[in-house]
Amino acid sequence: MNKFGILVAFAVCCFVSVSADTCDLTAKDHFNNVEFVDMKRKCILETEDQIKKEITASLKYLSLAAYFSRDDVNRPGYAKFFFDAASEEREHAKKLIEYLQMRGRYFDLEDSAISNINIGSLVKGSEKAELLSLGSEWMKAPEASKNKEVSAGLNALRTALKMEAVVTGSIRNLIATCEAEQVEGKKNEIFNDYHFADYLTGDFLSEQYQGKRDIAGKISTLGKMIRDNGAELADYLFDKSLQ
């Protein structure tokens, strides 16, 4: 382990001992002041915030999947559904990163939220997913309620719908920011980031609305099954349809 410590120290030294060109981080010198990055600051920072939310959602889904994997819960269908959802949220975070890269953002700037995320505490708080401000009733494991009218599955699907609704709202706010940002230093100039607004609307919002519709359909199907058959049998059967 120490060997790598030395390596790291050695590599850091290269800032000091070698000309800036060798280890440069900004690469600004190569551009002769040609400005090509037009994405605006507030929009960028909010996008980075959105990335954190996507990650939080991925971990929350993971906590649901872990719950349904337990041998005393035994719902492999729900578990699969939520494991897949977790990986999907992670992909959303990746897509936003890739978009920022394409638009000329780089993440080594000091003001980038990307360089300053406490990942450990995000993972630790997977179940609560505090960043999404879901409210206390959605921040725990989806156990079945005592009155037997709400199965664990129904509880979890409602949590998922709630979460997707929060994320949808957050993306809408992001679009609003990015399509009307006041340009720094120019009082009357508003920048409309047409392309990003279009990307968010076409790609992200489409997926949000389709996702919400899918979950909502599942909730009403399951809800009707519970009413007619009781929560345990309904959950058992619905789980089979998800496998």
Residues that bind another protein (CB under 8 A): 1, 4-5, 7-8, 10-12, 14, 17-18, 21-23, 25-27, 55, 59, 62-63, 65-67, 69-72, 83, 86-87, 90, 93-94, 97-98, 101, 104-108, 112, 114-127
Nearer residue to another protein within complex by CB, 59 or 179: 59
- CB 27 to another protein: min, Å: 4
Q: Say how far apart CA 159 and CA 140 lie, in whole Å.
A: 10
Q: Which is nearer to another protein, 91 or 189 (CB)?
A: 91
Closest distance to another protein from the beta carbon of 35 (Å):
13
Residues forming a β-bridge with 160: none
In the complex with another protein, the residue whose CB is nearer, 10 or 188, is 10
Question: Please, what's the b/e burial string for 159-189 (b: 16 or more CB within 10 A of its CB; e: otherwise)?
Answer: bbbbbbebbbebbeebbebbbebeeeeeeee
Residue 53 in contact with Fe ion, rule: CB under 5 A? no
Determine if residue 133 is left, alpha or beta; phi over 0 gives left, psi from -120 to 50 gives alpha, anything else beta: left
CB of 64 to another protein, least distance (A): 11
Residue 27 makes CB contacts below 8 A (sequence gap 6+) with none
Residue 165 touches which of Fe ion, another protein, none (Cβ within 5-8 Å per kind) = none
Q: What is the phi/psi pair of residue 14, to 5°?
A: -65, -15
Which of the listed partners (another protein, Fe ion, none) does 243 bind, with a CB threshold of 5 to 8 Å by partner kind?
Answer: none
116 binds, among Fe ion, another protein, none (CB under 5 to 8 A by kind): another protein
Beta-bridge partner residues of 190: 182
Closest contact distance (angstroms) between CB of 91 and another protein is 10
Smallest gap from Cβ 53 to Fe ion, in A, equals 8
Report how far apart, in Å, the C-alpha atoms of 80 and of each of 26, 56, 122, 143 are.
Answer: 43, 19, 22, 17
- Does position 92 interact with Fe ion (CB under 5 A)? The reply is yes
Cα separation, 33 vs 74, whole angstroms: 61
- Amino acid letter, residue 213: R
For residue 92, the partner it binds in Fe ion, another protein, none, with Cβ less than 5 to 8 A by kind, is Fe ion
User: Where does this chain bind Fe ion (CB under 5 A)?
Assistant: 54, 89, 92
